[in-house]
């Protein structure tokens, strides 16, 4: 009866067509042909870009450090294969704008020869600090898509005395099944990674949460976690966006993360299953993060699959391998169809954040024929953040951004539920993304005008100082001249 | 007795000084309302004159008297217009306001003679250089006032739009479909 009155454990959300069957039933493909050239961006993570330490023309081995992390929040980049460095320059980024960012271009030699790897006999003898250090040195970032450096998160967990580690196996985005396959095929390795993370954070309990549309993954993970009572594997309802950290925390622990706080402040940390797998590889095998499993799917793909590729592989190479019909492709998306980014062309590399590449046909796209809002409030009922998207969009349309911020624009997670459900096809998420960018731009403009005032004041002060100095020098000169003339007159008078 | 004389003399002193202060307030009064100062602190302060007033202070005075609209300052754009409207309690329709096109000065190395005229007039010290050396503009500090363009003898200083990078790239605003005539 009490639970009837308490807050619902899941707020909002939608149930979209899953489209996962095409890829979820086949094993991960491991024989992807090594591309001739790999384009490795220096920034594949949140924080400062890595700084290259190799020279053009240098020969490198697989797993060799190419660029080191700089600053507190950053991650290093390693060579995904052996070969020669061709260039360090600006190339188009995997981003909707395809604007250039700095990348290292590696020409592979086909040997795929590993650098010497350092393994440890018993990683549980290592200190927790040592675990974070090794995870950081392996360049591991959150592989669910947020790409926050994992080592920083482990340290934060240790400092905040986390009591529960949640492993996110929800994979709620339609089409994607890379985490599902990973859990089915490499459950033992993932559970080992979870144990290493628990050791690294000095935390007691872990909960692996898997959506109930992945029974195979659930059974495999449960079997793998059986010997370890500290690790609990649970099923959660299938509902997008179940994999959003705050939604998942609310469902699993019943706690609400307050606005403006991190989840670690209420004693919970979330990591993705892919990240746990990468931690296992880094600590047990000494392998840095140089490859990942990517879902290639969509209506225009003749052979949809999950495939393990080296980081930096161009999307065009992936599409060639999976036989994508470019004539039918209406849109290329990196990530899932709900939150992923639409890319302008295929000459862009895959990065640590790339969980999937979709080639969608015109039939799979939503009708964008926009019509007036009928105030049905469907968007309000599906918003997982508890916002009123229709009011926010109306205010943004007339440029009342301050009102939109008051309505909670900063709490919007761009999950796309409102745009998906809108019967009038209003591009609500695009309004919110535009407005967030505009608010940030205004803050920058404000900052610049303050800086300008400071510069102008500094210049005026300097000009005054120079004028005063000149005046004083002039007076000193005149005084000296008068003195000289007086002495001259005295001498003349004496003579 | 001492107490009485102290009270009388201090009272007289107070009255005299108060009288003098009263006269000073009347004859030496500075005409300035606090709202003008507040408005002036909001305006960019580069005295560019694009509003049609000789500087930011006169523009602030016109705003305070209600002679100018909140959208007066072109470099400030809609962000500034919103702040001014909030301060003055005005209703604001921003749908017609054009965002300022941000420009920064750039030196063309081929024609710069190193004459030093430009960095002498730059209000924010955004130009660096030395006599007979090629000058350069620090784009982050440039406010686009065009003072350097006016003094450059070889026209090597030109205004360019700010380069779009991943740092300042933004999503565009969705365009409303044209209002359709009702077909029933």
Q: What is the mean pLDDT of each run of 10 residues along chain A (495 residues)?
A: 57 90 92 94 92 93 93 92 94 93 94 90 91 94 91 92 92 94 95 95 93 94 94 93 92 88 89 96 94 94 94 95 93 94 94 94 86 93 94 90 92 94 93 94 84 87 94 95 93 86
The residue range of the domain holding A325 is 305-364
Q: Would A10 be classed as within a structural domain?
A: yes
A190 & A215 share domain: yes
DSSP letter at A96? T
Interface test with B, best of A93, A419, A449, A465 (most B CBs within 10 A): A449
* CA B42 – CA B57 distance, rounded (Å): 11
Give the model's pLDDT for residue B184: 42
B79, B93, B177 member nearest A370 (Cβ): B177
* CA B62 – CA B57 distance, rounded (Å): 9
Q: Would A349 be classed as within a structural domain?
A: yes
Q: How far is A350 from chain B (nearest CA, A)?
A: 17
Spell A38-75 as b/e; 16+ CB within 10 A means b: bbbbbbbbbbebbebebeeeeebbbbbbbbebeeeebb
B44, B93, B170 member nearest A437 (Cβ): B170
End residue of a domain, out of A227, A255, A286: A286
pLDDT less than 70: residues of chain B: 93-100, 178-184
Nearest partner of B106 among B163, B153, B170, B49, judged by Cα: B163
* CA B67 – CA A21 distance, rounded (Å): 67
Q: Would A359 be classed as within a structural domain?
A: yes
Give the model's pLDDT for residue B124: 85
Q: Would A317 be classed as within a structural domain?
A: yes
Q: How far is A148 from chain B (nearest CA, A)?
A: 18
Interface test with B, best of A456, A458, A463, A465 (most B CBs within 10 A): A456
A407 & A340 share domain: no
Please say whether the beta carbons of A277 and A186 come within 8 A: yes
Q: What's the N-to-C CA distance of chain B in angstroms?
A: 102
Say which residues have a Cβ less than 8 Å from residue A316's Cβ, sequence separation at least 6. Answer: A346, A347
A156 & A206 share domain: yes
| Cα nearest neighbour of B44 on chain A | A449
Give the model's pLDDT for residue A336: 93
Do A438 and B170 lie within an 8 Å CB cutoff?
Answer: yes
Tally of domains within chain A: 3
Q: Would A89 be classed as within a structural domain?
A: no
Give the model's pLDDT for residue A425: 92
A194 & A325 share domain: no
Give the model's pLDDT for residue A464: 94
Do B125 and A458 lie within an 8 Å CB cutoff?
Answer: yes
Helix residue spans in A254-338 (DSSP H): 273-284, 315-321
A371, A398, A430 member nearest B171 (Cβ): A430
A214-A144-B170 Cα angle (round to 5): 130
Say which residues have a Cβ less than 8 Å from residue A220's Cβ, sequence separation at least 6. Answer: A183, A184, A185, A187
Do B124 and A456 lie within an 8 Å CB cutoff?
Answer: yes
Using an 8 Å CB-CB cutoff, list chain A residues near B174.
370, 427, 430-431, 434
Do B164 and A456 lie within an 8 Å CB cutoff?
Answer: no
Using an 8 Å CB-CB cutoff, list chain A residues near B44.
449, 452
Give residue A455's region: left, alpha or beta (phi > 0; psi -120 to 50).
alpha
Q: Is A148 exposed, middle or buried (0-12, 13-18, 19+ CB in 10 A)?
A: middle
Q: Give DSSP secondary structure letters for A170-194.
A: ---SSS--HHHHHHHHSHHHHHHHH
A204 & A350 share domain: no
Using an 8 Å CB-CB cutoff, list chain B residues near A455.
123-126, 141
A323 & A282 share domain: no
Do A431 and B125 lie within an 8 Å CB cutoff?
Answer: no
Q: Would A354 be classed as within a structural domain?
A: yes
Residue A348 CA neighbour count, 13 Å, CB half: 23
A8 & A140 share domain: yes
A351 & A392 share domain: no
Please say whether the beta carbons of B166 and A99 come within 8 A: yes
Q: Would A222 be classed as within a structural domain?
A: yes
User: Which residues of A touch chain B, with CB atoms under 8 Å apart?
Assistant: 93, 95, 97, 99, 101, 369-371, 396-402, 427, 430-431, 433-434, 437-438, 440-442, 445-446, 448-449, 451-453, 455-456, 458-459
Question: What's A7-39 look like in SS3?
Answer: CCCCCCCECCCCCCHHHHCCCCECCCCCCCEEE
Please say whether the beta carbons of A296 and A163 come within 8 A: no
Q: What's the N-to-C CA distance of chain A in angstroms?
A: 121
Using an 8 Å CB-CB cutoff, list chain B residues near A427.
174
Give the CATH fold of the B34-96 domain: 3-methyladenine DNA Glycosylase II; Chain A, domain 3 (1.10.15)
The CATH number of B103-161, from 3.40.50.720, 3.40.1440.10, 3.30.70.20, 3.20.20.10, is 3.30.70.20
Peptide bond into A241 cis (omega under 30): yes
User: How many Å is the maximal CA-CA distance in chain B?
Assistant: 102
Q: How far is B95 from chain A (nearest CA, A)?
A: 6
Q: For chain B, give every domain's residue range.
A: 34-96, 103-161
A213 & A309 share domain: no
Using an 8 Å CB-CB cutoff, list chain A residues near B79.
442, 445-446
Residue A352 CA neighbour count, 13 Å, CB half: 30
Q: What is the reported pTM?
A: 0.82
Do B123 and A370 lie within an 8 Å CB cutoff?
Answer: no
A360 & A384 share domain: no
- CATH number for the domain harbouring residue A264: 3.40.50.11540
Tally the residues of chain A.
495
Please say whether the beta carbons of A135 and A193 come within 8 A: no
State the pairing for strand pair A83-92/A100-108. antiparallel
A340-A341-A346 Cα angle (round to 5): 120
Give the model's pLDDT for residue B183: 43
Nearest partner of B171 among A198, A437, A91, A282, judged by Cα: A437
Q: Is A69 helix (H, G, I), strand (E, B) or coil?
A: coil
Q: Is A212 helix (H, G, I), strand (E, B) or coil?
A: coil
* CA B66 – CA B89 distance, rounded (Å): 11
Q: Would A234 be classed as within a structural domain?
A: yes
Do B97 and A399 lie within an 8 Å CB cutoff?
Answer: yes
* CA A38 – CA A36 distance, rounded (Å): 7
A421 & A325 share domain: no
Q: Is B60 helix (H, G, I), strand (E, B) or coil?
A: helix
State the DSSP H helix or E strand holding residue A232, giving kind and residue range, or none if neither.
strand A231-236
A350 & A434 share domain: no
* CA A109 – CA A80 distance, rounded (Å): 12
């Amino acid at each position: 009866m009490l639970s009837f009155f308490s807050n619902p454990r899941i707020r909002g959300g939608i149930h979209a067509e899953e489209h996962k069957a095409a890829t979820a039933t086949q094993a991960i493909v491991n024989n992807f042909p090594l591309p001739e050239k790999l384009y490795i961006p220096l920034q594949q993570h949140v924080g400062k870009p890595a700084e290259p330490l190799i020279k053009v023309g240098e020969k490198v081995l697989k797993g060799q450090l190419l660029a080191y992390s700089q600053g507190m929040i950053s991650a290093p980049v390693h060579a995904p294969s052996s070969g020669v460095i061709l260039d360090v320059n600006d190339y188009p980024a995997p981003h909707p704008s395809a604007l250039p960012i700095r990348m290292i271009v590696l020409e592979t030699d086909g040997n795929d020869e590993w650098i010497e790897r350092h393994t440890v006999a018993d990683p549980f003898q290592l200190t927790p600090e040592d675990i974070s250090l090794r995870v950081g040195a392996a360049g591991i970032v959150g592989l669910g898509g947020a790409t926050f450096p994992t080592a920083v998160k482990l340290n934060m967990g240790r400092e905040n005395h986390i009591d529960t580690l949640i492993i996110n196996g929800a994979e709620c985005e339609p089409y994607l099944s890379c985490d599902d396959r990973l859990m089915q095929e490499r459950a033992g390795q993932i559970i080992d990674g979870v144990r290493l993370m628990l050791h690294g954070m000095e935390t007691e309990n872990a909960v692996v949460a898997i959506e109930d549309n992945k029974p195979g993954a659930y059974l495999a993970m449960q079997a793998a976690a059986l010997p370890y009572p500290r690790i609990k594997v649970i099923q959660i309802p299938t509902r997008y966006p179940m994999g959003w950290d705050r939604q998942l925390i609310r469902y699993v622990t019943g706690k609400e993360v307050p606005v403006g706080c991190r989840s670690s402040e209420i004693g919970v940390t979330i990591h993705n299953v892919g990240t746990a797998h990468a931690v296992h590889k880094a600590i047990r095998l000494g392998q840095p993060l140089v490859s990942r499993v990517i879902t290639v799917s969509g209506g225009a793909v003749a052979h949809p699959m999950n495939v393990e590729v080296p980081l930096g592989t161009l999307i065009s190479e992936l599409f060639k391998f999976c036989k994508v019909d470019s004539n039918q492709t209406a849109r290329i998306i990196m990530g899932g169809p709900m939150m992923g980014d639409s890319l302008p062309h295929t000459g862009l590399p895959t990065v640590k954040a790339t969980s999937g590449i979709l080639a969608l046909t015109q039939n799979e796209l939503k009708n964008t024929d926009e019509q007036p809002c009928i105030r049905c409030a469907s968007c309000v009922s599906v918003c997982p953040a508890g916002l009123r998207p229709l009011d926010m969009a109306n205010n943004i349309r007339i440029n009342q951004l301050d009102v939109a911020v008051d309505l909670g624009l900063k709490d919007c997670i761009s999950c796309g539920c409102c745009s998906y459900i809108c019967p009038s096809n209003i591009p609500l998420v695009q309004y919110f993304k535009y407005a967030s960018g505009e608010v940030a731009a205004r803050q920058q403009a404000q900052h610049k005008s303050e800086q300008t005032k400071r510069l102008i004041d500094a210049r005026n002060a300097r000009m005054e100082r120079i004028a005063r100095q000149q005046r004083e020098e002039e007076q000193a000169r005149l005084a000296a001249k008068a003195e000289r003339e007086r002495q001259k007159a005295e001498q003349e008078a004496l003579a | 007795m001492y107490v009485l004389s102290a009270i009388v003399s201090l009272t007289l002193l107070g009255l005299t000084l108060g009288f003098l202060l009263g006269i000073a307030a009347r004859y030496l009064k500075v005409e300035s309302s606090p709202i003008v100062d507040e408005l002036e602190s909001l305006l960019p302060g580069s005295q560019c004159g694009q509003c049609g007033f000789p500087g930011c202070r006169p523009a602030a005075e016109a705003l305070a008297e209600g002679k100018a609209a909140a959208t007066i300052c072109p470099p400030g754009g809609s962000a500034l217009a919103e702040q001014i409207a909030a301060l003055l309690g005005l209703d604001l329709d921003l749908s017609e306001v054009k965002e300022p096109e941000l420009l920064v000065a750039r030196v063309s190395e081929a024609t710069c003679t190193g004459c030093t005229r430009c960095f002498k007039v730059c209000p924010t010290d955004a130009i660096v250089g030395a006599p007979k050396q090629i000058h350069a503009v620090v784009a982050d500090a440039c406010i686009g006032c065009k003072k350097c363009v006016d003094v450059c003898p070889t026209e090597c200083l030109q205004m360019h739009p700010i380069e779009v990078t991943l740092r300042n790239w933004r999503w565009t605003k969705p365009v409303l479909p044209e209002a359709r005539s009702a077909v029933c």
